[in-house]
Structure 1
């Protein structure tokens, strides 16, 4: 077998594989913001495991805590039994994350993935309210299991269910129909009019920044109004923070700048800090009407993830950490806005928030070409949107500024090689 030989994957692995097609090499090692393939080529990683590696690869602090725990024969698997690792995580998450933000939530361990936490949120909302339907939003993505797909907008992923998807009503996300029309006025008209055919839903579910949907970003005033509508009609508000949370947008929870307190919050991806499968569902204490075992999962007690997640919270004890994310987000946003001006052939517009950001190009296929060229030059990033019209940047939130700029320079070189010469600075 030669280095970077992909033949075994095409022969044995299912055709459903995806990311390996965009990044056609065999990776063997990763550290911080870098990855290496079998041939020894070095890559800067602005993909971060689709948001599951906000702290980069093999963070030394978390790695040390995990190795010590394993060497001490710490429990790996415990279902929902009590363990010291779980207790430590619960106490620290409440102390470092919830209490400083004045959030009073019960914590549920629904299973290790993002779609697990979404499924539990939908089930709980229906159980609490006794109502069936859920309002979701255009271009939203919430997971690949049946309940999560029912509130997902992507047609291709919905078709993968193989059955009709029911009990969800799709409403337009912020600015979906243009800035001139308030999408929430449209939504409210359905709730108010008894002839609309839209029954009062159990919940509304949304992402504050739509990761897979193209980095569409809800304005804070829009989020506040959603919250007000939910309170007015007795609808539970579910924020899916699986990708946008854990610092990706500049604050631990993406909804913090809006000043709202959702009824239910879904977290996964970077929660473990180390890329280990881990998810939690947060909800107001009065909503905790579950019967024991009513929603469970074999791997909801993955103690290795408890250990690394607790270690990751050490960073959040220092307010300077959050400030550093926001400072780097400013650098990236300014750089991207500069690219749209410098390279008008991009026909680009900056989308996203924090370090969940990119450029939407009106040139068909160009964003995908830029991502491919960047990979060839040693920068890993992906595209988003229904037609892959956005190339998006997910650098580690703890990346050093000089390393961040190195990746951005590769991005510009990739753009420069594909579009017309930049406009003159004179």
Structure 2
């Protein structure tokens, strides 16, 4: 074993995970490529689990960051006003919110996705005076206690070590099959006094479930869910930590549904450069915090404000969004061709935009595809409760030739995984 990886094994906690899947010591990254200390080049179809939507070390963001650091710009400021923070808020309002007709107050809850989810749950309970939150099967919202309570993965929930209360899990769209309307099930729980479900403070939803298996809710289902929330006075929270910032083809994943969430959670790629930053968007009438009622030492990450502001410049030109959607169509076509060409893997395409994958009914198949991908110098992750999905998360601005290069590697890995599982037509 490499000496540095041996040190990791000896010193780092056993909780580590990605280093087990990608056993290399990485030293350099640019755009859609990463290099290890041996000079081996890897194609990145992982994008930091959605934290690097613009790829590694974007030139414009890097230069802005270097200029800011060398000019002794403010690094740490809690929630004090700085020029970096004000510039970010101004650009987010003018480039993202105003053109979409959205009116939200911007809250900085802390640097992570779990921080923004925790703040969303807290404001919902504060404003409604209710305690329960409705979440959905296979949802993932974070690893702190509140966020974990609305997460579906049983292994991660057990890690809490205590009962996770005041949440109720409802079936996600098509969880029980397309022939059943899971929202009718939800409505029945609300209407029946004998259901054991109190009127909740909020519903929290990922329109596309990232860690849960790339499950994409239908637009009509999302709209109906908002209608139910409005009817019963339930706050509607969208967790766009992974699916947002262009990952599904529009800046917010819920835009095609035409809905207006009460609260929106953003993190991961909102920082642009992989620097920690989270934002909670709150409808103005709900923004009833007392000063300091929710705070955090690192909620003012000025280095992230600098790169986040520069990242928003991509969105001034509608052609950028159109280019994401075009890449998403190419990905859809490729994955559907894989499902049709290799029926032995019993696969089904899932997801939207550049957040897609194939779910295989063959036990261990998707994990094998990801393992072979790493052997072919490609970073590819799995998702789902049983790692049954291999998912494609390239940078939003990946060159088309690199996207096609990735597709070719994945097809080769599918063939090798079929051979390994003795499922290919050539082995039968």
| TM surpasses 0.5 | yes
Whole-angstrom CA distance in 1 between matches of 2:32 and 2:404: 12
Question: Residue by residue, what CA displacement relative to the aligned partner does 1:255-278 show, whole Å, maximum 9, x if unpaired?
Answer: 000000100000000001000000
SS of residue paired to 2:178: coil
Residue of structure 2 equivalent to 1:218: 217
Q: How does 1:38-57 map to 2 (within 5 A)?
A: 38-57=37-56
Residue of structure 2 equivalent to 1:409: 408
Residue of structure 2 equivalent to 1:337: 336
Residue of structure 2 equivalent to 1:383: 382
After TM superposition, give the deviation of residue 344 of structure 1 in Å: 1.1
Question: Residue by residue, what CA displacement relative to the aligned partner does 1:226-272 show, whole Å, maximum 9, x if unpaired?
Answer: 00000000000000000000000000000000000100000000001
SS of residue paired to 2:88: helix
Matched, 1:65 2:64: yes
Q: TM-score, normalised by structure 1?
A: 0.98
Structure 1 residues 162 and 331 mapped into 2: Cα distance closer, same or farther (>3 Å)? same
Residue of structure 1 equivalent to 2:143: 144
Whole-angstrom CA distance in 1 between matches of 2:53 and 2:424: 33
SS of residue paired to 2:106: strand
SS of residue paired to 2:122: helix
Residue of structure 1 equivalent to 2:174: 175
After TM superposition, give the deviation of residue 415 of structure 1 in Å: 1.0
Whole-angstrom CA distance in 2 between matches of 1:50 and 1:109: 21
Matched-pair contact (CA < 8 Å) for 1:342–1:423: no
RMSD value, Cα: 1.2
Residue of structure 1 equivalent to 2:360: 361
Whole-angstrom CA distance in 2 between matches of 1:76 and 1:137: 38
After TM superposition, give the deviation of residue 62 of structure 1 in Å: 0.4
Question: Residue by residue, what CA displacement relative to the aligned partner does 1:99-145 show, whole Å, maximum 9, x if unpaired?
Answer: 01110000000000000000000000000000000000000000000
Whole-angstrom CA distance in 2 between matches of 1:64 and 1:170: 45
Matched, 1:283 2:282: yes
Residue of structure 2 equivalent to 1:318: 317
After TM superposition, give the deviation of residue 418 of structure 1 in Å: 2.2
Whole-angstrom CA distance in 2 between matches of 1:53 and 1:161: 28
Matched-pair contact (CA < 8 Å) for 1:342–1:422: no
Whole-angstrom CA distance in 1 between matches of 2:36 and 2:209: 30
After TM superposition, give the deviation of residue 417 of structure 1 in Å: 1.7
Moved over 2 A (4+): 2-5, 420-424
Q: How does 1:412-423 map to 2 (within 5 A)?
A: 412-419=411-418
After TM superposition, give the deviation of residue 346 of structure 1 in Å: 1.2
Show structure 2 runs of 5+ residues with no match: none
After TM superposition, give the deviation of residue 5 of structure 1 in Å: 3.5
SS of residue paired to 2:78: coil
SS of residue paired to 1:201: coil
Matched-pair contact (CA < 8 Å) for 1:381–1:393: yes
Structure 1 residues 316 and 4 mapped into 2: Cα distance closer, same or farther (>3 Å)? farther
Whole-angstrom CA distance in 1 between matches of 2:260 and 2:377: 41
Residue of structure 2 equivalent to 1:116: 115
Whole-angstrom CA distance in 1 between matches of 2:135 and 2:3: 42
After TM superposition, give the deviation of residue 3 of structure 1 in Å: 5.6
Whole-angstrom CA distance in 2 between matches of 1:18 and 1:233: 41
Whole-angstrom CA distance in 2 between matches of 1:422 and 1:275: 40
After TM superposition, give the deviation of residue 336 of structure 1 in Å: 0.6
SS of residue paired to 1:415: helix
SS of residue paired to 1:373: helix
Residue of structure 2 equivalent to 1:166: 165
Q: TM-score, normalised by structure 2?
A: 0.97
SS of residue paired to 1:419: helix
Question: Residue by residue, what CA displacement relative to the aligned partner does 1:318-342 show, whole Å, maximum 9, x if unpaired?
Answer: 0000000000000011001001111
Residue of structure 1 equivalent to 2:246: 247
